[in-house]
Each structure stands twice: as structure tokens, then as C-alpha cells.
Structure 1
Amino acid sequence: MFQQLNCTNISSLLFLVSLLGIFLNQKNILVMLMSLEMMFLSISFNLIFSSIRLDDIIGQIFSLLILTVAAAESSIGLAILVIYYRIRSTITVELMNLMKG
């Protein structure tokens, strides 16, 4: 019980740190993407810990699905970011509204 409580606290703390990373740093898109990935990771940790506690495999399978989708989202986001940097020579969020398409 004590170990499960610590794991849930670690997952919640990781989620809150990533939420603060998104809201406090709104100028750098790369840090925002990293915070979003950390948020997905904390949700996956929580699913895995709950799955172990309940002795069920579904949470672990769903966690793998979440991590796969997060990796695909991250690679597409970084590819768009590289193309945007080549065009504008900056990656600040303030200039993102200039993108048209």
C-alpha cells in the first residue's frame, strides 16, 4: 500500500511539473513539446502502477498504445518545427500565428 501511494504521488508530481512547464514557459515551443511528452509519460506511469495494483494487463497494453501515439506525435511535431525553423530562423511561439495553410 505504501509503495502504491508513493508511485501515485510520483506520477501526480510529474504531471504537475509538466503542466507548469506548459503554462509558465509559453515562448519556447520545444520546451512545451517536452512538457507535453512528460505529461503523456506521467499518465502512462499511472496506468502501469494501477495495472500492477489491480493485477490486470489492460492498463499496461493501453500504456504502450499511449506511448506509441505520443512518439508519433512528437516526431511529426519536431519535423514541422525543423521546417518552420528553416523558413523563419526562430522557434518562438509568438510568431506561430504567421503560419498560413
Structure 2
Amino acid sequence: MTTGSMAVEPGWYLLLSAAVFCIGLFGVLVRRNALVFLMSIELMINAANINLVAFALVYGNITGQTFVLFLIALAAAEVAVGIGIILALNRNFESIDVTDAVTMRW
């Protein structure tokens, strides 16, 4: 990059990605609500997407952006399965707190 350009350095993208991933990891480790789990996992997937796009920018190819499209489809499938699990939790335990589901009840 030239010193006079207004482009953002790739290191800043990696710093943003690390921050978003840490926020997602914190949400997975600390919270007990299943919806917060889903949102935190989405944050972690989006951090990986930021990394892939940043490395595609650095190396000048579109491979990273292609993988991002596959990860977006994976995230959509994950949400669909996750919502089904949350509905089953709510139906069986009258709560979406994941610590309530320690036994298998029918």
C-alpha cells in the first residue's frame, strides 16, 4: 500500500476479526441462553468471514470470497437447525436455558 492512499491496511481487518471472534467466544462461554449461543456462534463465523475477505484482498484472488459464500450458506443452515433445537428446548423444558436440559425427558 502506498502511504498516500486511503485504503485500510489488512492488519486492521485482522484486529477487527479477532475482536469479533473474542466477543463471540465470550458469549458462548458465559451465557446460558440458547439464543445467545446462536448469536455468538454467528459472530465467530463472521469473524472467519472477515479474515477470509482480508486475505483475499492481500493476495489478490477471489478464493477467500468464494469460501465466504459457502460459510454464509453454512451459517443459514446452522440457524435453521438451531431454531429447531431452541423450539424443542422450549417445548420440553419451558425454558431456553441450556443448563435446564441436563436429562433426557420424553
The TM-score with structure 1 as length reference comes to 0.88
Quote how far apart the aligned CAs of 1:100 are: 5.6
Identity fraction in percent: 30
**Which ranges of structure 1 fall in alignment gaps of 5 or more residues?**
none
Q: Which aligned segments of 4 or more residues in structure 1 are displaced greater than 2 angstroms? A: 97-101
Q: Distance in 1 between matches of 2:75 and 2:53?
A: 16
Quote how far apart the aligned CAs of 1:10 are: 0.4
1:9 has 2:20 as partner: no
Tell me the residue number matched to 2:29: 23
1:51-96 CA distances to partner (integer Å, 9 max, x unpaired)? Answer: 0111111111011101111110111111221132123211111122
- 1:19 maps to amino acid: L
SS in 1 for 2:101: helix
Q: Distance in 1 between matches of 2:58 and 2:105?
A: 48
**Which ranges of structure 2 fall in alignment gaps of 5 or more residues?**
2-7
RMSD: 1.7
Q: Distance in 1 between matches of 2:55 and 2:104?
A: 42
- 2:47 maps to amino acid: S
Quote how far apart the aligned CAs of 1:39 are: 0.2
The answer on whether the counterparts of 2:92 and 2:105 sit within 8 Å (CA) in structure 1 is: no
SS in 1 for 2:9: helix
* Structure 1 residues 55 and 80: CA distance shift in structure 2, 3 A: same
Q: Distance in 1 between matches of 2:63 and 2:48?
A: 14
Q: Which has the higher helix share?
A: 1
Q: How many residues get paired?
A: 100
